[in-house]
Amino acid sequence: MLKIVNLCITNQNKNKFLFLKRNKHPFKNYLGMLGGKIENQEDPSKAASRELFEEAGISSSGKFLGKCHEKIIENKQVIAELEIYFFYFIINESTKFNSGHEGELKWISIDDFKNNKLIPSDPLMINAFLNKGVKGTISIIEKIEEEYFQTEFEEVLQEKPDSKKPGVGVGVMILKNGKILLGKRHPDKEEASGLKEAGTWTMPGGKLDFQESFEECAKRETLEECGIKLNKVKVMCINNDKNEHAHFITIGLFSDDFEGEPKVIEPDKITEWSWFDLNNLPYPLFSPTKKMLDNYKENKFCINP
């Protein structure tokens, strides 16, 4: 899946948007938000600022609002599957900008959206992330003959407390010369998903995807979160983790055979990565991470609350 940034750029009154008329496939001759590919191990916020400068000659930093999982279909085939990081910028209309090699830039008012050919998902994302405060969306766009149509757009809303069911996730204990890799969860509790516990130190990990093995999930999540490629990984333990926010069955895995050094790739989730001696760990620890360390030290397969 290709990771990209979309730049939602408004004036100070939030009634005009800076759009790009694209001159390349897909969406050639469509108006859409600026943006582009996140380079390997690049911080998404830095990618957003870089793309803004490269495409418009403007230096500024934006605010991350959410992510969209989007598929683009042509001739009944998925030609692109994207993880879109949505960033919000406020730019004065008097700011000079340069139209670059990607196409012509121009301000478009909200009232003019319906009079222009826009990438179908762009106004939907703007409404979801900027106006409604949604954190995640799912989008499917299909090209039929020569036009693009929005065939699916879903806002991923937080479940109500009475509808929550246990989820399944993995945590990965990565050991190097007696030291363990831990990342600091985002300090904003709204950004710290799942069990919340904002600002705590955690192992790499995440939710198990449909039909994915534990080992596949561990390798994928570790690569996505910190850029480390696991060569070998094995199941170490299983724990029942729950609090007032969520309930997860956590599969703990272990690896000391890997490639690469940790990088901050998803700053909206983890703000830093560091190696720590097992006898000198940071505080506070994410509760599932603390349990997994107890599993490892006490040689126990399962620790219940």
pLDDT of residue 159: 47
**Separation of alpha carbons 32 and 22, rounded Å:** 7
pLDDT of residue 212: 86
- In this prediction, residues 67-74 reach a mean pLDDT of 95
- pLDDT of 158 > 90? The answer is no
- pLDDT of 190 > 90? The answer is no
Structure pTM? 0.57
Q: Which domains does the chain have, with CATH numbers?
A: 2-156 (3.90.79.10), 161-303 (3.90.79.10)
pLDDT of residue 303: 67
- In this prediction, residues 57-84 reach a mean pLDDT of 93
Least confident of 36-45, 137-146, 246-255: 36-45
91 neighbors 10 (Cβ within 8 angstroms): yes
pLDDT of residue 205: 94
- The tokens for 62 are 């934006």
pLDDT class of 116 with cuts at 50, 70, 90: very high
- pLDDT of 217 > 90? The answer is yes
Provide φ and ψ at 49, rounded to 5°.
-65, -40
The set of residues, in sequence order, having a beta carbon less than 8 Å from that of 81 and lying 6+ positions away, is 1, 2, 69, 70, 71, 72
Least confident of 43-52, 127-136, 190-199: 190-199
220 neighbors 168 (Cβ within 8 angstroms): no
- pLDDT of 160 > 60? The answer is no
